[in-house]
Amino acid sequence: SQQGEEDPQALSIQEGENATMNCSYKTSINNLQWYRQNSGRGLVHLILIRSNEREKHSGRLRVTLDTSKKSSSLLITASRAADTASYFCATDEGNNDMRFGAGTRLTVKP
Amino acid sequence: DSGVTQTPKHLITATGQRVTLRCSPRSGDLSVYWYQQSLDQGLQFLIQYYNGEERAKGNILERFSAQQFPDLHSELNLSSLELGDSALYFCASSVDAAFYNEQFFGPGTRLTVL
């Protein structure tokens, strides 16, 4: 069963714009990770944020975590056509299980 | 290229049959994870092996089993296949047992059950 819920389900933007995706979850977590998946291919790890962190950056990616609201957001700045993919959040509850959300399908138009 | 290999890429079989999916982790990685991705269930963690031992279990059906061999490659066995088992099966590897370590995913095996 899934733990995280991404929002929106699909997002279409122009190259150069910023893309924001949100993830909400239900239970306490140890950490939250974001992954990217190009169509039909394996997932690529993007960034991990621990429960005691509020914000993390990696290149054009910015992730925030609000444990009081049980939510996280992924911001991709200055998007490129190559960013077109599905993005998933995954939560680690510390019970040796990892739960993925349903994903946000991002389309970046050139 | 993540360094994780999976074979076969595609598998088409009939209901009631049994198949074996194979995964070779990145060199040096001791953990192997198996995931199922389907349209109705999304991405689900199935099972993790670490250095030959089962480490964690997720939503794995009793008809499914896995093992990790001394050379650290892993196999996922799916038996008494049903139509609903049609999905992409991914394996991933990481350097040790903790879930918070970065996992490197293979390209997946697409299973079609007819």
Judged by average pLDDT, the poorest of A3-12, A24-33, B17-26 is: A3-12
Best to test chain B binding among A96, A99, A100, A104 (most B CBs inside 10 Å)? A96
Res. A64: pLDDT tops 90: yes
A65 phi and psi, to 5 degrees? -135, 130
Q: What is the pLDDT of residue B63?
A: 97
Split at pLDDT 50, 70, 90, the class of A94 is: confident
Do A79 and A13 form a contact (C-beta atoms < 8 A)? yes
Cα–Cα distance for residue pair A55/A66, rounded to 1 Å: 9
Q: What is the pLDDT of residue B87?
A: 96
Question: Nearest residue of B to residue A31 by CA position?
Answer: B100
Radius of gyration of chain A (CA): 13
Do B68 and B3 form a contact (C-beta atoms < 8 A)? no
Mode of pairing for the β-strands spanning A85-92 and A98-100: antiparallel
Mean pLDDT of A74-86: 97
Q: What is the pLDDT of residue A16?
A: 97
Question: Nearest residue of A to residue B98 by CA position?
Answer: A96
pLDDT in tens, B51-95: 999 999 988 999 999 999 999 999 999 999 999 999 999 999 999
Split at pLDDT 50, 70, 90, the class of A1 is: very low
